Amino acid sequence: MAFELPELPYAKDALAPVISAETIDYHYGKHHNAYVTNLNKLTEGTAHADASLEDVIMAADGGLFNNAAQVWNHSFYWNCMQAGGGGDPSGALAEAIDRDLGGIEAFRRDFKNACVGQFGSGWGWLVQKDGKLEIMTTANADLPMKHGAKALLTCDVWEHAYYVDHRNARPSYVEQFIDKLINWDFVASNL
Clarify whether residues 106 and 73 are in a common domain: no
Q: Return the CATH number at 63.
A: 1.10.287.990
pLDDT of residue 125: 98
Verify that 74 and 104 share a domain, yes or no: no
Separation CA 159–CA 163 (nearest Å): 5
Secondary structure element (H or E) that encloses residue 53, with its range: helix 53-59
Which of 58, 79, 100 is the last residue in one of the domains?
A: 79
Closest-CA residue to 71 (of 156, 125, 5)? 5
Q: Which domain holds residue 103?
A: 91-190
- Whether residue 89 is preceded by a cis peptide bond, meaning omega within 30 degrees of 0, is no
DSSP letter assigned to residue 130: T
How much is the pTM?
Answer: 0.97
Is 98 found in the same domain as 67?
no
Is the same domain home to 46 and 119? no
46 in any annotated domain: yes
For residues 3 and 141, the answer to whether their CB atoms sit within 8 Å is no
pLDDT tens-digit series, residues 44-69: 999 999 999 999 999 999 999 999 99
- Per-residue pLDDT tens over the stretch 138-158: 999 999 999 999 999 999 999
Q: Are residues 97 and 171 located together in one domain of the fold? A: yes
pLDDT score of 130 more than 80: yes
> Residue 163's domain is classified under what CATH number?
3.55.40.20
Q: Are 83 and 115 in contact (CB under 8 A)?
A: no
Asked if residue 114 and residue 173 are part of one domain, the reply reads yes
2 in a domain, yes or no? no
List strand residue ranges (DSSP E) for the chain, in order.
122-129, 132-139, 150-156
Residue 49 lies in a domain: yes
In a domain, 85, yes or no: no
Burial 76-115 (b: 16+ CB within 10 A, else e): bbbbbbbeebbeebeeebbebbeeebeeeeebbebbbebb
Q: What does the mean pLDDT of the chain come to?
A: 97
Domain assignment present for residue 166? The answer is yes
Give a yes or no: residue 184 inside a domain.
Answer: yes
pLDDT of residue 113: 98
Provide φ and ψ at 89, rounded to 5°.
-75, 170
